[in-house]
Structure 1
Amino acid sequence: MEFNTALLHTETAGKRGTPLEPIYQTTAFQYPTAEELERVFQGTDFGYIYTRISNPTLAAFEKKVAALEQGVGAVACASGMAAITLSLLSIVQGGQEILSGSGLYGGTFALFKELQRFGITSRWVTDNTIASFAANINEQTRLIYVESIGNPKLDVPDIAGLAELAHSRGVPLVVDNTAASPYICRPLELGADIVLHSTSKYINGSGNSIGGIIVDSGRFPWDGRRYPALQEYHKFGPYAYLARVRKGLLTDFGASMAPLAAYLNSLGLETLGLRMERICDNAQELAVFFQEQHQVTAVNYPGLESSLSRSTACQQFRGKFGGLLTVRLGSKHKAFRFIEKLKYGANLANIGDVRTLVIHPASTLCLHHTCEEREQMGVYEDLVRISVGIEDIRDLKLDFAQALDRMSLAL
């Protein structure tokens, strides 16, 4: 099946006669006998116990995302940050290290710093070259972590090259694919081992529910000596990692997705391909448009010839380059005036909506980071991040043009 057909016709639900799995808005699931419930708890019979662990609405959503990403399975979580946290803590423990790209979402960067309180060290490379990652791997490294498109740095790592490096050193490659979505990039096909999404973004598409998801390739050989937390789960074969996540941290931390959120994310997922095609086309046109505006000092978008990541993006993306772009306007004051003059660009902290969204990262998402950390993440005082929506491109160009003009007049 092609992408949009798969979104609609991947088999996920039971034989209930419904095209979309209903909302099982329940805490727990009843069984007619104590023996049956005992067998489900023992794992000898399949069944649902408690929505904190799993639920039919969540299971249908997990199956569809896993199929899109070509994984063996998935675990839905309460948020994108919950997915990142559970995915990492299922692998690393105190005294071990995460090796990461520097072009990270600010919340992820903050999480990595917080993990240092638990004895987990994060090391950041200054660029996304394979050589830089190779130079920073050591005996304590337990995984390599990157974003398929850095947010808001918009750098694109060589996923296939990093997967080869990671596997040569006996560690998995974890890729946050939120900013690209499965429509333009499927990291597992490029050799990555684990893929993450904040489903609140492009998968949902309408900004109506928070969620995250972890997808596993089922291919990584978890060495019990290097990864003792996974040793007891080897009996699950290719599902060992997902069993560790679900039966371990998801159950213990309680960071599960709500059934309503799973339903809304499943509903949004059905139009992902249509939305992303329009969003990517609009973003490409807007990036070129901004290059022609004298008020703009710099434009960053992976699809531009001027982008340092264009070559890599062309190799591993499907002819599209995502819906995020950034512009630099010369000063924080100009950036603020530009944002407030927009009619269609909503000033809020999200990406991946059908509507165009804008934000000044330095004063919001990265407010509590040092200047050095912000620059490492590609954040500057005069930078505005734009998450392009599906509006008519002519209206967007006219709106951004008038905002640039009025920004200049307001100085």
Structure 2
Amino acid sequence: MSDGPTYGFDTLQIHAGARPDPATGARQTPIYQTTAYVFRDADHAAALFNLQEVGFIYSRLTNPTVAVLQERVATLEGGVGAVCCSSGHAAQIMALFPLMGPGCNVVASTRLYGGTVTQFSQTIKRFGWSAKFVDTDDLDAVKAAIDENTRAVFCESIANPGGYVTDIRALADVADAAGIPLIVDNTSATPYLCRPIEHGATLVVHSTTKYLTGNGTVTGGCIVDSGKFDWSANDKFPSLSEPETAYHGLKFHETFGPLAFTFHGIAIGLRDLGMTMNPQAAHYTLMGIETLSLRMERHVENAQKIAAWLEADDRVDYVTYAGLPSSPYHDRVKAHYPRGAGALFTFAVKGGYDACIKLVNALEIFSHVANLGDARSLIIHSASTTHRQLTPEQQEAAGAGPGVVRVSIGIEDADDLIADLDQALSKASA
């Protein structure tokens, strides 16, 4: 889209990054199912590989369909650029890759998706990295955890599984004071409910698999660069501020300024890690984003109604939905998430572990799957699935104890969803 008018979210979710195909006039972004691209001549090829000219080289690095998705997500998040990759987990590694080195650590929230906790506590050790987990509501604990080897603070805007909402601005202030970036996983909120960059985040990551695609068809991830961090302010980020030995000594920050992280993510991250998003996945996600605001409005409306019903039910111990007046995060939602608290939350079933198993087995409309953000309503017992590898203490800290189920409320008729939960709770408590 041309520079000039400031367009609204509903317009940008359809048009940002997309133009009619110059070869055919096709209005929908085509799936460019190709591996490589013909260079005009040898000088053109050299300019592309030297990053002196932007263009398409090889689809592990760049692809026209994926490029439209990158521009669209970056626009919706208020960033300067984005890098799409194969999954949300890939996006997390890609986000850390330019920042970290052997002996470095990331300070991470205890309230994270179980797979992220495992990735950070176990897998990244193989790179010589480590993670320190803290309650990000305790800002003093966050400050105490940051040391000379810390390279980032990581949190989720709306935490999976509990639906807790994060005070991003407060965390950003702590990270800024330490001279390190704040990385926010915005998967559960989407840019429709929250734009972390506006609250001080440096990088935003997404599992595009979830609400952005919204139809449960493809996996994908994305890292959005705010373009606001000074990578040369200290010596903590040599891959961005110093000559990069993996790219003939190029100084990314000096050369690309606000786009340094984005260019590094493509030229080094995708080139060497190979976590590439395929063009068909990008196409499905682009189609999903076209209805993002409409879906999120219904997701939130349904979640609010169902959470209130569950909270009033005697068969339920508690509900963690931050949109409820009883939630300790309710005021934070009103201040920072004015369009709603999302559609992801947990509730505890009286009867504990066994009752939860009976509940998920009895549901008819809700699907028992390891996913969230679908148009369909989904449920999972986290302690026996997504958070199974965690210790009991880690499960409790993440809000995924044995007597808790996580729900991702879809866009069906809310009364039908309540009826389904009602009959399943009856069987679970029998």
TM-score between the two structures when normalised by the length of structure 2: 0.92
Query: What is the letter of the counterpart of residue 128 of structure 1?
Result: D
- Counterparts in 2 of 1:92-103, with a 5 A limit? 92-103=100-111
Query: What is the letter of the counterpart of residue 31 of structure 1?
Result: F
- Quote the offset at 1:32 in angstroms: 4.1
- Please say if residues 174 and 194 of structure 1, whose CA atoms lie closer than 8 Å, have aligned partners that are also in contact: yes
Give the aligned partner of residue 280 of structure 1.
Answer: 300
- Please say if residues 103 and 154 of structure 1, whose CA atoms lie closer than 8 Å, have aligned partners that are also in contact: no
Task: Give the distance between the partners of 1:138 and 1:314, measured in 2 at CA.
Answer: 33
Task: Give the one of 400, 406, 414 matched to 1:379.
Answer: 400
- Please say if residues 102 and 377 of structure 1, whose CA atoms lie closer than 8 Å, have aligned partners that are also in contact: yes
Give the aligned partner of residue 247 of structure 1.
Answer: 267
- Please say if residues 197 and 203 of structure 2, whose CA atoms lie closer than 8 Å, have aligned partners that are also in contact: yes
2:354 matched to 1:333?
yes
Following TM superposition, the consecutive aligned residue runs of length 4 or more in structure 1 with deviations greater than 6 angstroms are none
Aligned positions, number = 409
Query: What is the letter of the counterpart of residue 363 of structure 2?
Result: L
- Counterparts in 2 of 1:218-257, with a 5 A limit? 218-223=227-232, 225-231=235-241, 232-234=251-253, 235-257=255-277
Query: What is the letter of the counterpart of residue 395 of structure 1?
Result: D
2:205 matched to 1:196?
yes
- Quote the offset at 1:296 in angstroms: 0.6
- Quote the offset at 1:10 in angstroms: 2.4
Task: Give the distance between the partners of 2:343 and 2:411, measured in 1 at CA.
Answer: 10
Task: Give the distance between the partners of 1:351 and 1:386, measured in 2 at CA.
Answer: 8
2:99 matched to 1:91?
yes
2:365 matched to 1:359?
no
2:93 matched to 1:72?
no
Query: What is the letter of the counterpart of residue 236 of structure 2?
Result: R
Cα deviation code 1:261-316 (max 9, x no counterpart) = 00000000000000000001100100000011111111110101222222222211
Question: What's the secondary structure of 1:154's corresponding residue?
Answer: coil
Task: Give the one of 11, 15, 25 matched to 1:9.
Answer: 15
Change (3 A) 1:214 1:127: closer
Unaligned ranges ≥5, structure 1: none
Change (3 A) 1:43 1:137: closer
- Counterparts in 2 of 1:30-45, with a 5 A limit? 30-45=38-53
- Quote the offset at 1:31 in angstroms: 2.3
Task: Give the distance between the partners of 1:159 and 1:146, measured in 2 at CA.
Answer: 8
Cα deviation code 1:38-84 (max 9, x no counterpart) = 22222233320100000000000100000000000100000000000
Task: Give the distance between the partners of 2:33 and 2:427, measured in 1 at CA.
Answer: 49
Task: Give the distance between the partners of 1:390 and 1:318, measured in 2 at CA.
Answer: 20
Task: Give the distance between the partners of 1:167 and 1:193, measured in 2 at CA.
Answer: 10
Change (3 A) 1:132 1:156: farther
Task: Give the one of 45, 63, 80 matched to 2:71.
Answer: 63
TM-score between the two structures when normalised by the length of structure 1: 0.97
Unaligned ranges ≥5, structure 2: 1-6, 242-250
- Please say if residues 109 and 135 of structure 2, whose CA atoms lie closer than 8 Å, have aligned partners that are also in contact: yes
Give the aligned partner of residue 107 of structure 1.
Answer: 115
Question: What's the secondary structure of 2:333's corresponding residue?
Answer: helix
Task: Give the distance between the partners of 1:297 and 1:151, measured in 2 at CA.
Answer: 19
- Please say if residues 383 and 395 of structure 2, whose CA atoms lie closer than 8 Å, have aligned partners that are also in contact: yes
Task: Give the distance between the partners of 1:151 and 1:377, measured in 2 at CA.
Answer: 8
- Quote the offset at 1:21 in angstroms: 1.5
- Quote the offset at 1:14 in angstroms: 5.7
Give the aligned partner of residue 348 of structure 1.
Answer: 369
Task: Give the distance between the partners of 1:380 and 1:396, measured in 2 at CA.
Answer: 24
2:280 matched to 1:270?
no
Question: What's the secondary structure of 2:429's corresponding residue?
Answer: helix
Task: Give the distance between the partners of 2:46 and 2:70, measured in 1 at CA.
Answer: 25
Give the aligned partner of residue 399 of structure 1.
Answer: 420
Query: What is the letter of the counterpart of residue 358 of structure 2?
Result: R
Question: What's the secondary structure of 1:297's corresponding residue?
Answer: strand
Task: Give the distance between the partners of 2:136 and 2:176, measured in 1 at CA.
Answer: 20
Task: Give the one of 162, 165, 174 matched to 1:165.
Answer: 174
Task: Give the distance between the partners of 1:131 and 1:155, measured in 2 at CA.
Answer: 19
Between stretches 293-302 and 112-121, larger displacement belongs to 112-121
Task: Give the distance between the partners of 2:20 and 2:120, measured in 1 at CA.
Answer: 39
Query: What is the letter of the counterpart of residue 180 of structure 2?
Result: V
Query: What is the letter of the counterpart of residue 422 of structure 2?
Result: A
- Please say if residues 162 and 321 of structure 2, whose CA atoms lie closer than 8 Å, have aligned partners that are also in contact: no
Give the aligned partner of residue 342 of structure 2.
Answer: 322
Cα deviation code 1:163-183 (max 9, x no counterpart) = 112111101110000011111
Query: How large is the Cα RMSD of the aligned pairs?
Result: 1.3
2:328 matched to 1:308?
yes
Task: Give the distance between the partners of 1:357 and 1:190, measured in 2 at CA.
Answer: 30
Query: What is the letter of the counterpart of residue 213 of structure 2?
Result: N
- Please say if residues 129 and 157 of structure 1, whose CA atoms lie closer than 8 Å, have aligned partners that are also in contact: no
